[in-house]
Chains A and B, each alone.
Chain A
Amino acid sequence: MTMPPMSKTPLTVWIPRDAAALSLGADRVAEAVAAEAARRGIDIRLVRNGTRGMCWLEPLVEVETPAGRTGYGPVTPADVPTLFAADFLHGGVHPRLVGPVAAIPYFRTQERLTFERVGLTDPLSLDEYLAHGGYQGLQRALTMGSAAVVQEVADSGLRGRGGAAFPTGIKWKTVLDAPADQKFVACNADEGDSGTFADRMLMEGDPFTLVEGMTIAALAVGATEGYIYLRVEYPHAHRTLQSAIDAAYSRNYLGRDILGSGKTFDLEVRLGAGAYICGEETSMLESLEGKRGEVRPRPPLPAVKGLFGQPTIVNNVISLASVPTILRNGSAFYRDYGTGKSRGTLTIQLGGNVKRGGLIERAFGITVREILYDYGEGSASGRPIRTVQIGGPLGAYLPESQFHTPLDYEAFSAMGALVGHGGIVAFDDTVDMSEMARYAMEFCALESCGKCTPCRIGSTRGVEVIDRVVQGVDRDANLALLDDLCDTLLNGSLCGLGGLTPYPVQSALKYFRDDFLKA
């Protein structure tokens, strides 16, 4: 029997450590690959990378070939002996072979700026991060004054990716201009919207990008302490972030006198306790302070009086993770992407009833239909897609007639919808939209912090009123009451949870009214 020639340097095999891949068996595949390699006496270097974002291919096993990184997927442990037998380490032909990953249309057509390293590198390796352009943004920022960094971010057109789309540069300028002895940077990593996973994928796949982005933010406004408020449901992201933070400290990218600049920035991860409302920025600040996660009235804005009453940048993971590329490549590079007032890229998360769900980073302006059909390839069930909900559980339901709408903050706002955090959930024609409307109220009732009256009581009443409408009890009166309730929620609520709950309810009523009138 002839053994394949041993290379001097071991061959590298990439198997994702991303939670989506793990849930599809990536660990078991990795164990099987390692065991099989050992059994065969092959010296391999197993790298647990982030995900490429093509969930239907996970676990996606990659190897280096002359044609570039070549993938096999989805791989099961049972496939492993046959992969070895097919010499997959050198790109051998196998039923799971998907070819060079970068050439897969789903991936090739993306515009990966924020996610440029996710899936490519070892997320735990600071050296790989540096080798792939990491910390060049910080290096450049350190040569600029605070105001210039803030201006660069403002010029890029970056807007808050957490959902509110507030111009990041303006927020930073407010913090910069607020006089205070102590300022903070707080990253909102409480990614709780259904159908969203971009924050998680980034934190699990390229945590240094977030750390660098926060460091730049801190330098830009004179903050010396930062917190990542991470939802407790993300244990893998927690470990990855902690590892990255430790590495950054050990190499002087965090802590005192960062890279000899004389600047200080300390960063730590704080875990939430499972409340959706703590993804609302003021509740998050309360929770960070050790208090009950309850919404604060605004004003004062967190940028003026935030964490512990001090000026605080509160940004979402993706917003902060977009900053290194802006600083490295310049604001013009970033703002060249996108359309209208929506500049740069959106990290779209496609899920629900589609064939090919995953992470798609594209410049603003791509239409819903392109996402659903060019990327998603239509519904998983094969039935017509009837509606999509965009922007999480508080986003509006779009009928097919609106699928031509480009993903653009203003375009969505004009039709009473949200881009939000960029999550798209598809439903086929079996969906009962009265149930979805009811669910929106139910979700609000479940997650309401209980502070303001419209949300605390109104959401519970909303479920009851919708039930009466659907059951045909005093239907007209209850439909009128539901309208009034939505008005109270929309205009009376203290924060977006109660304030946005009418979006899914009213869009369902508006476009799918018949679903409510069956009884």
Chain B
Amino acid sequence: MYSRDYSDFGTPPADDGRLVTLEIDGRAATVPEGTSIMRAAATLGREIPKLCATDSLKAFGSCRLCLVEIDGRRGFPASCTTLVSDGIKVRTESPRLTALRRGVMELYLSDHPLDCVSCPANGHCELQDMAEALDITETRYGLKGANHQGLPKDTSNPYFTFDQTMCIACSRCVRACDETQGTFALTIQGRGFASKVSASQNEPFLNSECVSCGACVEACPTVALTENSLITLGAPDRVVTTTCAYCGVGCSFKAEVKGNVVVRMVPNRDGHANHGHSCVKGRFAYGYATHPDRITAPMIRASTDEPWREVGWDEAIGHAARELRRIQAKYGRDAIGGITSSRCTNEETFLVQKLVRAAFGNNNVDTCARVCHSPTGYGLKSTLGESAGTQAFDSVMKADVVIVVGANPTDGHPVFASQLKRRLRQGAQLIVADPRQTAIVRSPHIEAACHLQVRPGANVALFNAIAHVVVTEGLTREDYVSSRCEIDSYTKWKAFVAEPRNSPEATASFTGVEPDLVRKAARLYGGAGNGAIYYGLGVTEHSQGSTMVMAIANLAMATGNLGREGVGVNPLRGQNNVQGSCDMGSFPHEFSGYRHVSDPVVRGAFESAWGVPLLSEPGLRIPNMFEAALDGSFKGMYIQGEDPAQSDPDTQHVTAALASMECVVVQDLFLNETAQYAHVFLPGSSFLEKDGTFINAERRCSRVRKVMEPRGGFQDWEVTMLLANALGYPMRYQHPSEIMDEIARLTPTFAGISYEKLDRLGSIQWPCNEKAPEGTPTMHVGEFVRGKGKFFVTEYVPTEERATRRYPLLLTTGRKLTQYNVGSQTRRTSNVAWASADVVEIHPHDAELRGIRDGDLVGLTSRSGEIVLPAEVTDRVRPGVVYTTFHFPESGANVVTTENSDWATNCPEYKVTAVEVVRVNHASEWQRRHREFTEHQLSLLTGRQPTHA
């Protein structure tokens, strides 16, 4: 059931068409052609009784409660499936209609338990609502006839229960699975009275194709599909609208709360990014926030082999400040730095970079975007003029051809994937460029026109080949380019890609893709009315990540696919606020809004606002910090909400760097991998415990609202403020809205954003300023942000990381649907029911050569290290390629990844590592050491001494 504070119009809105005026109960309604009578009535505030209709799903016409009378027409048409037409006169109430509706309700109630009072859905149940609306308290059929009482419940899913006893067979769940989620896991089995909702071929939900997105639960009008938490905790007493803290889709949720406890997270139908949809992570996997592993009191220790000592906030903050100042006194101003978090709010990341620049007095601040989308910022800024995606998610509903490259949206960005699939089912064509056969390539009612199964590391060669076909076959939009782009750069680029060495035939030896398939894809995209490109870390995390981003932008500009709805270049951002953390000036060379620290005007504005002189030279990037640490020149770090010891490449290099420092301050929810090397631990606050904003992949700034009190006593921004004050740099904010006001004052693209406006509009896509007071859904309309779009020649330079006789396979890494990033959140939820370990995917051919069978333990060795994981033999990967995820620290996927990185931004080359895979029978040496170290660190934690008993 959806949140009670939503008013349901019954059927989806019609496309804006000709307006039609009709009369409903004597009142005129004017609505677009194609609108249902039910929806037209709802616009007048007349709620026609309904059970099978809800405005997220196409009209179905099965419940027969919404019957109306229309003058001059026979019978009683269903108002959900009957469309408006000019001049008709509709009656929604009459004694005849009431009799019919009561007749239907009596039938419903004859097969439904009537003990509403003890039902978890009491007060939230649409069946109950309808019975009340029609004044029916009992049924003349009695309850002794054939019925569905006493049937077993399906409790296999850890998050929700299917109780078929309560089911009214309205098919809303089935339709939601089809239309909203696009998984088609549910069906109605049997017919007539025996009709029954069935997952897959009558399997328990958990074993079925169900991906636990919760769309069926949201759509259910009764208690038949209900969150276990609602059953256990009972009805909520308040609702808080907030934003999900998982991926970059940034779904809006209504947190339903009872006291200080979240009863359930309901996707917000008014949410601009998700329109009422959700995935298994955002919808259900919030239990980590109250997990017993949470550390809620500050801790300190002198060295990392000492037990942790629990202390008060003053002592912890004072200790950290003294240590950082001591290090600066001893090793120099630049011997410390900070890392902002893409999971924290804009206000928090802004404060951390302010702390570094203003209180540390250097520019040694960086963010985890370094290791994911820094090439996006660089590549798009260089070509188009702004470091962000160009569209709103809704834009995809106008795309005709969609390229998905280096992204796995059904797993990484599931709610966007559902929207994309909806568009594909409407007939848009799909091109996928990925070494793996991801689920979007082929799924129910979806099939990619082309799957370009590119060899890892050859993206640039592939896109040069696509551009070659576009240019040599005359598919460019010369009029568009000549009016909107720098012609010199275009001419150079065009001559470059047209060279025969960039043809699909000539590049096939690098890409491993059939030339004809490349040509087909190029013609499809080049010939599209609206061509849109969506990409992920499979584009950026390469030695040529920035080149590839530019290659994508080049292709979009050359084909005129920028500057309107349905087109664009769209990075699918990994973390909830990775866009925001970049926007907020988290990079060592940029202030908020991507303005270089060397710009005297910009710097001057910050200096006068912050009252301190600021450095004009960029500071250290994350990898430089670790290198400097190993050199002995970098000794202290403040890390908020990040876990580089797990997430960054070449783990042993990272941990050695951490171990060499004198003061590592970690602020986090859990004792994460990095915290095991820390000297000060400051309890973090989850997204449920704070106010602030997140910015998603479509530049959408949405409010995060405090649902419960911070378990450690402070919100993260407050902790940063405490540290700044202890360092002698005063920060005095009463509320994050004041931080946003400062951001708006100092950042032209945020000038028009305020909490008041966010509350009013729901969300705002930046730039938001005088020119665009309500934000900018589509960028580069009319002209590019940089003025003229600029083409860059994208010479393909093969990575040095290549398959050799010693390391003959290429490892690439990715994500699973049910786990998130380093897994510190999702591993502490019931999502482990779907994925409880990382595995190595290997092609049957490669497996057979090595005598590897499905489930065997295999050792994966690169020049960086060795790990051991179970093998999954599958043809999802192409021969020569193996694949794994990095959700579980004990797997140590990043032990094998290398120090290779993007030439422009140092974004690590996670996606290409030459490896060998062999059968083994025990864990790797690193894994054994890791286990011992972790056990030791946990013992130091459990032995911690509370100072105030």
Which A residues are closer than 8 A to B by beta carbons?
Answer: 275, 277, 292, 294, 297-299, 445-461, 464-465, 477, 481, 484-485, 487-488, 491-494
A–B complex contacts, Cβ < 8 Å, 14 sampled:
A297-B81, A299-B81, A445-B193, A448-B191, A451-B60, A452-B62, A453-B62, A454-B104, A459-B193, A481-B140, A481-B141, A488-B100, A491-B100, A494-B62
* Of A450, A484, A494, the contact of B195 (CB 8 Å cutoff): A450
Q: Which residues of B contact A477 (CB under 8 A)?
A: 140
Known contacts A454-B64, A456-B169, A464-B141: A445-B192 contact under CB 8 Å: yes
A494 touches B64 (CB 8 A): yes
**A449-B195, A457-B107, A487-B99 known, 14 other contacts, Cβ within 8 Å:** A277-B191, A297-B78, A450-B188, A450-B190, A451-B195, A454-B103, A456-B195, A459-B192, A460-B145, A461-B107, A484-B103, A487-B100, A491-B67, A494-B64
B195 touches A488 (CB 8 A): no
The answer to whether the Cβ of B110 comes within 8 Å of any Cβ in the partner chain is: yes
* Of B65, B111, B141, B191, the contact of A450 (CB 8 Å cutoff): B191
Known contacts A450-B195, A453-B108, A477-B140: A488-B190 contact under CB 8 Å: no
Q: Which residues of B contact A457 (CB under 8 A)?
A: 107-108, 110-111, 193
* Distance in angstroms between the alpha carbons of A454 and B62 in the assembled complex: 9
* Distance in angstroms between the alpha carbons of A447 and B195 in the assembled complex: 11
* Of A275, A458, A484, the contact of B191 (CB 8 Å cutoff): A275
A447 to B: closest C-beta gap in Å: 7
The answer to whether the Cβ of B151 comes within 8 Å of any Cβ in the partner chain is: no
The answer to whether the Cβ of B415 comes within 8 Å of any Cβ in the partner chain is: no
* Distance in angstroms between the alpha carbons of A275 and B192 in the assembled complex: 11
Residue of B nearest to A492 (CB): B64
* Of A448, A453, A487, the contact of B107 (CB 8 Å cutoff): A453
Residue of B nearest to A298 (CB): B81
Residue of B nearest to A477 (CB): B140
* Distance in angstroms between the alpha carbons of A459 and B884 in the assembled complex: 55
Determine the main DSSP class of B at the interface with A. Answer: loop
A467 to B: closest C-beta gap in Å: 10
A461 touches B192 (CB 8 A): no
Q: Report the count of interface residues on B (CB-CB < 8 A).
A: 38
A451 touches B62 (CB 8 A): yes
* Distance in angstroms between the alpha carbons of A453 and B60 in the assembled complex: 12
Q: Which residues of A contact B190 (CB under 8 A)?
A: 450
B917 to A: closest C-beta gap in Å: 41
Query: Which residues of B from 114 to 148 have beta carbons under 8 Å from A?
Result: 140-141, 145-146
A350 to B: closest C-beta gap in Å: 30
* Distance in angstroms between the alpha carbons of A484 and B136 in the assembled complex: 15
Residue of B nearest to A498 (CB): B64
B145 touches A292 (CB 8 A): no
* Distance in angstroms between the alpha carbons of A484 and B59 in the assembled complex: 27
B78 touches A461 (CB 8 A): no
* Distance in angstroms between the alpha carbons of A275 and B100 in the assembled complex: 28
The answer to whether the Cβ of B82 comes within 8 Å of any Cβ in the partner chain is: yes
Known contacts A488-B104, A493-B64: A460-B59 contact under CB 8 Å: no
- Output the residue of B81, B110, B141, B146 with the most chain A CB within 10 A: B141
* Of A446, A452, A455, A484, the contact of B61 (CB 8 Å cutoff): A452
B480 to A: closest C-beta gap in Å: 29
Q: Which residues of A contact B605 (CB under 8 A)?
A: none
B62 touches A491 (CB 8 A): no
- Output the residue of A446, A450, A484 with the most chain B CB within 10 A: A450
Q: Which residues of A contact B187 (CB under 8 A)?
A: 292
Residue of A nearest to B144 (CB): A464
Q: Which residues of B contact A461 (CB under 8 A)?
A: 107, 110, 141, 145
* Distance in angstroms between the alpha carbons of A178 and B289 in the assembled complex: 57
B76 touches A492 (CB 8 A): yes
A301 to B: closest C-beta gap in Å: 12
Residue of B nearest to A493 (CB): B64
A451 touches B171 (CB 8 A): yes
A450 touches B140 (CB 8 A): no
B192 touches A452 (CB 8 A): no
Across the A-B interface, the 5 shortest Cβ-Cβ residue pairs: A450-B195, A488-B103, A297-B61, A448-B192, A297-B81
- Output the residue of B75, B76, B103, B195 with the most chain A CB within 10 A: B103
A496 to B: closest C-beta gap in Å: 12
Known contacts A492-B64, A493-B64: A485-B103 contact under CB 8 Å: yes
Q: Which residues of A contact B111 (CB under 8 A)?
A: 457
* Distance in angstroms between the alpha carbons of A158 and B11 in the assembled complex: 38
- Output the residue of A299, A460, A465 with the most chain B CB within 10 A: A460
* Distance in angstroms between the alpha carbons of A465 and B144 in the assembled complex: 12
* Of B83, B107, B188, the contact of A488 (CB 8 Å cutoff): B107
Residue of A nearest to B171 (CB): A451
Q: Which residues of B contact A298 (CB under 8 A)?
A: 81
Q: Which residues of B contact A488 (CB under 8 A)?
A: 100, 103-104, 107
Residue of A nearest to B64 (CB): A492
* Distance in angstroms between the alpha carbons of A448 and B169 in the assembled complex: 13
* Distance in angstroms between the alpha carbons of A456 and B192 in the assembled complex: 5
B64 touches A453 (CB 8 A): yes
Residue of A nearest to B174 (CB): A292
B944 to A: closest C-beta gap in Å: 60
* Distance in angstroms between the alpha carbons of A484 and B104 in the assembled complex: 10
B61 touches A460 (CB 8 A): no
* Distance in angstroms between the alpha carbons of A456 and B191 in the assembled complex: 8
